[in-house]
Amino acid sequence: MDLGLKDKIAVVTASSSGLGRAAAEALAQEGAHLAICSRDGRRIHEAGEYLREKYRVKVFAGVCDVGDKGSVDKFTEEVLQRFGTVHILFTNAGGPPPGAVGDFSSGDFEKALNLNLISAINLAYEFLPRMQSQKWGRIIASTSITVKQPVPVLALSNVSRVGVIAFIKSLSFEVATFNITANAVAPGYIMTDRVVQIAADKAKKESRAFEDALGDLESGIPAGRIGRPDEFGSLVAFLASERAGYINGETILIDGGAYRGLM
């Protein structure tokens, strides 16, 4: 299936590893040129070199802390200087620390909101005008299954990611007439460093082996396994495509059937 992404320009944040890296790789595989970023200059430049060499696409790898508006402004300027426009925006940020409500202060919740919600809003405001002027764009926000089914040990994520859904839904009403879609992807457990950390914390807290803690996570998934990063990337690439032009304002789970609700 040709997704119509060849030579499109895609911004993928927090993409030196994990879900952002998976999204960037899936888009590059379809021929999209990339602007990727991370707080870690060494890792993002290594990722950029890998993607450039493997997929023969143009890649700008920049240092950016998406939780810092000044850093986002600078990254945006660099992207537009190099590419002139942007067609696809994938907003992503590292997840806040795991823990229950009682483990955190109100300041921790404020930091989580800035990391996950305000960063997505700032990025959308930066790149949306270019999409509107060319009357084509795809905005995809990475969230979590916690927006549908809160996880007791992920209190910061439970709170901070729900606002992203409200923002994306609100945005979708306003951008559709410009041939722009705004959607969110809500992964369950995908095998990234984040999931390894969650399992390791669980194992330590319960004085159990890491493998047993990981098995507990898998036992709650009807598919019987934790998802692969490339499966997540494939969903992002489809939502960014021409063929997904009538999907707008949606939150799409990718969780192996772990979510128990109806809607």
CB 118 within 8 A of CB 67: yes
Domain-located, residue 203: yes
CB 20 within 8 A of CB 12: yes
Dist. CA 196–CA 213, nearest whole Å: 10
What pLDDT is recorded for position 91? 98
Domain-located, residue 121: yes
Residue 82: CATH number of its domain: 3.40.50.720
**Percent of the chain predicted with pLDDT > 70:** 100
What b-and-e string marks burial along 218-244, b requiring 16 or more CB atoms within 10 Å of the CB?
Answer: eeebeeeebbebeebbbbbbbbbbeeb
Does residue 212 register a pLDDT over 90? no
Please check whether residues 93 and 183 belong to one and the same domain: yes
Dist. CA 175–CA 14, nearest whole Å: 25
Domain-located, residue 62: yes
Please check whether residues 13 and 139 belong to one and the same domain: yes
**Percent of the chain predicted with pLDDT > 90:** 86
Does residue 250 register a pLDDT over 90? yes
Average the pLDDT over 158-169 and give the result: 96
Please check whether residues 221 and 241 belong to one and the same domain: no
CA nearest to 255, candidates 145, 142, 92: 145
Query: How many domains in the chain?
Result: 2
Does residue 1 register a pLDDT over 80? no
Please check whether residues 87 and 182 belong to one and the same domain: yes
Domain-located, residue 262: no
Average the pLDDT over 242-248 and give the result: 97
Domain-located, residue 212: yes
Summarised one tens digit per residue, pLDDT across range 220-230 is 999 999 999 99
What pLDDT is recorded for position 193? 87
Please check whether residues 103 and 210 belong to one and the same domain: no
Least confident piece of the model among 46-50, 74-78, 152-156, 178-182:
152-156
Average the pLDDT over 171-184 and give the result: 98
Domain hosting 207: range is: 191-226
Domain-located, residue 1: no
Please check whether residues 127 and 222 belong to one and the same domain: no
Amino acid identity of 21?
R
Please check whether residues 212 and 143 belong to one and the same domain: no
Does residue 118 register a pLDDT over 80? yes
Domain-located, residue 259: no
Please check whether residues 235 and 222 belong to one and the same domain: no
Please check whether residues 114 and 209 belong to one and the same domain: no
Please check whether residues 144 and 86 belong to one and the same domain: yes
For the chain, the average pLDDT equals 95
Please check whether residues 42 and 126 belong to one and the same domain: yes
Domain-located, residue 3: no
Please check whether residues 221 and 235 belong to one and the same domain: no
Q: What's the Cα-to-Cα distance from 218 to each of 23, 157, 201, 229, 257, rounded to whole Å?
A: 23, 20, 16, 16, 11
What pLDDT is recorded for position 190? 95
- Taken as a whole, the chain contains a residue count of 263
